[in-house]
Structure 1
Amino acid sequence: MNGDTRARGSRVHHPPVSTTRRLFLVGGGAALLAAVTGCGVRMDLPQPPPPSPTRRRAPDEALIIGVVGDLDELLRAWPAAAKPAVLKHSRALLTELRATLVGRLTNEGVPTEEIAPAAADPSAAPTPTGTPTSGPLSVGELRKRLAALPSAHLDSTTSATAETRELLTAAYGTIFTAAGLLGADVAPAAEASPVRPRLAERTSPLVYAFEVVAAQSSGTQRSRALDTLERLRGLERLIGRDDATSGWSLPFPVTDPGSARRLGDTVLKRAVGALGEVPGRAPTAESLDDVARWVAAVQLAADTWGLEPVAFPGMEQPDR
């Protein structure tokens, strides 16, 4: 019996092989988990969400953002020095222009944070499209930079959609107008571009109309008419005279100062209408520059006559 007891007591109970393997795997897994956890890797975090679909870019998005960025830079560095009324009006023109361009982008689904560092606040941080300024510009530096701004975008504008080309050409005309109000020379270049004949067709009738306005006016109105006429004659000398006809018809009879005043207002407001047709379907940078500077010349002549320049001459106010 004692022998049986020793026999039974001497037996060693080994777990089945499969059980041993499971214990080893569990133990090894725990050790591996401890090692990974010790390295700072969390095993219980949720999987990251799938990437969002790529946003479809708006037509000519980068081009318009570039123009907005340049305007932002100048508006942040706007001087508060001499000629406050002219500075105020020029700033108002460019602020309206900028707001409309930003509205065009946001209406196309472009997030405001992608348009500028702070699209709603031109006083915010510098934009990547221009050289940040260290402080307010002088009036002379401002008009110089305004006069140079459109040239940085003209080549890209030639390949833009027709709608964008018309919008930006009007905008460039406004920028040149603001520079001209501050004293910059923004007259069309002496070298002719392909659109000169079409611009001449619009210029010579203006000259003729203001010859009539001056002849039928008196006093202060006549003085203003003569100043405006001189500006328009200077534009005609640069653009060229339209000699297709010997004369141009007036929209209504002009026989006194009242009808003369009405004629001056009418022809200047109509002059820049339908400008999108002038550059044609494949414009050159020189053509767009010519059109924009012609617009500025007409707006500056209108300012001499007493009509305030507008942000988008020749266009119905674009949707914001």
Structure 2
Amino acid sequence: MSGDTRRRGSRVSEQRALPPRRLLLIGGGAAVLAVLVDRGLRLDLPQPPPPVPTRRPAADEALLVAVVRDLDELLRTWPRASRPTALKGIRGLVQQQRRVLAGRLTNDGVPTDEITAPPTIPPTTPTPPTTSADTAPVQHLTVARLAQLLASLPAGHLKATTSATDGARELLTAAYGGLLTGAGLLGEDVLPASGTSPVRSQLAERTSPLVYAFEVVAAQSSGGQRRRALTALDRLRALERAVGRAEASSGWSLPFAVTDDKSADRLADLVLGRAIGALGDVLPAVPTPEAVDDVARWLAVVQLAAVDWGRDLVAFPGLRQPRP
């Protein structure tokens, strides 16, 4: 017998020597495979794709979402009350802020359902079962409560704003100034708090020349223009007392001669525009929460003086009005 014949015989003997249990497993597996193939299972299909990676959060996402949700809650519970003219203007301001901030998030890829939170339902006394179509009644704010909320900048927002990216830091500080302006229009005191902050000297250097300019405007105006100038001047003097008076050796020069109503009107518009547009100059690159609060309140009071003078209310004082 040749060597090849002996080797073939040996392999046949090994196969015949497989234990019964192993033969049973092999046979069972083949039977299951035959059933699956018979029922349409394709063994040549590609493997399913791997899970989609988790979305990377956008810059400043958590802070911006928190502010948008606060604005949503204000709009949801907006007062049904008197003083419709003032409330309508402030509501429009809040709506514009909401559109711009939410638009910034969606432009950065944040899904809408992650921006809008379900409404908060306050606890109530037990009531009979209701259908799923029923909703909890909205508890609308009073005007006084709305004013308080607009005047209260959450400490958490202020702290988070200090570490926000440059664009978001200025955008949110301007938004806070807009909300505080609304509070001031409803009668709340929105002046910077007593004490000190790292930006008080810069704010004083912006405020004192503004006061001086409006003293000139009032002196060179007549009739209704003079009354508007004096109202704005009173507000600006209160702001100067809050932030301190800037030291100046020989007063402040005017950009042009002011001798009548027309030139006084021109000067008022010029200095108010410059003051409101100074946000980027007075807000530090790495501010403290107190500095953010001070700048927002300073912006609000300057905008209130501008509204006294007759300028339009804007949602983001200090910035070119952003679009969503």
Which TM bucket (shorter chain)? 0.7 to 0.9
Distance 2:63 2:223 in 1: 48
Structure 2 match to 1:110: 110
Partner of 1:52: 52
Distance in 2 (alpha carbons) for counterparts of 1:235 and 1:138: 28
Identify the range of structure 1 (245-254 vs 197-206) with the bigger mean alpha-carbon deviation. Answer: 245-254
Q: Match for 2:299 among 295, 301, 316?
A: 295
Deviation string 1:209-248 (CA, Å, 9 cap, x unpaired) is 1111111111111111111111111110111111134211
Candidates 126, 139, 157, aligned match of 2:119: 126
Q: Write the distance in 2 (CA, Å) between the matches of 1:231 and 1:50.
A: 63
Matched residues, percent identical? 62
Amino acid across the alignment from 1:53: P
Residue 281 of structure 1 and its aligned partner are, at CA, apart by 2.3
Could you tell me how far 1:114 is from its partner in structure 2?
1.6
- 1:173 maps to a residue whose letter is G
Whether contact under 8 Å (1:70, 1:149) holds in the other structure is no
Paired AA for residue 144 in structure 1? Q
Structure 2 CA distance for aligned equivalents of residues 256 and 106 of structure 1: 50
Matched, 1:221 2:225: yes
**Pick from 188, 206, 209: which aligns with 1:184?**
188
- The corresponding residue for 1:67 is 67
Matched, 1:174 2:178: yes
Whole-angstrom CA distance in 1 between matches of 2:137 and 2:75: 11
Could you tell me which of 264, 271, 276 is aligned with 1:272? 276
| SS of 2:250 mapped into structure 1 | coil
Q: 1:22: Cα distance to partner?
A: 9.7
Aligned residue for 2:187, secondary structure, equals: coil
What residue in structure 2 maps to residue 8 of structure 1? Answer: none
What is the aligned partner in structure 2 of residue 98 from structure 1?
98
CA deviation after TM superposition for structure 1 residue 23, in Å: 8.8
Cα distance change, pair 183–133 in 1 and its aligned pair in 2 (3 A): farther
* Pair 1:239-2:239 in alignment: no
| Secondary structure at 1:153 match in 2 | helix
Root mean square deviation, CA, Å? 3.0
2:147 is aligned to: 143
- Residue in 2 that maps onto 1:122: none
Q: 1: CA distance between counterparts of 2:154 and 2:242?
A: 20
Cross-structure match for 2:290: 286
Return the alpha-carbon distance in structure 2 between the equivalents of residues 251 and 96 of structure 1.
34
Runs (4 or more) in structure 1 with deviation over 4 Å come to: 20-33, 46-49
Unaligned 5+ segments in structure 1 are 1-15, 34-42, 118-124
* 1:93–1:310 Cα contact (<8 Å) kept: yes
1:209 and 2:213 matched: yes
Change (3 A) 1:133 1:150: farther
Secondary structure of 1:281's match?
coil
Q: Identify unmatched segments of 5+ residues in structure 2.
A: 1-15, 34-40, 122-135
CA-CA distance at 1:133 after TM superposition: 9.1
Measured at CA, do residues 127 and 153 of structure 1 come closer, stay the same or move farther in structure 2, by a change above 3 Å? farther
For residue 28 of structure 1, report the CA deviation from its aligned partner: 4.5
Q: Distance in 2 between matches of 1:22 and 1:270?
A: 90
Matched, 1:160 2:125: no
Amino acid of the structure 1 residue aligned with 2:80: A
SS at match of 2:87: helix
Label 1:301 to 1:88 Cα distance change in 2 as closer, same or farther (>3 A).
Answer: same
Equivalenced residue count is 289
Inter-CA distance 155–21: structure 2 relative to 1 (3 Å threshold): closer
Q: What residue is the counterpart of 1:248 in the other structure?
A: 252
Note the C-alpha offset of 1:135.
1.5
Cα separation, partners in 2 of 1:239 and 1:319, compared to 1, 3 Å: same
3-state SS of the aligned residue for 2:291?
helix
Cα deviation, residue 180, structure 1: 1.2
Residue type of the alignment partner of 1:287:
A
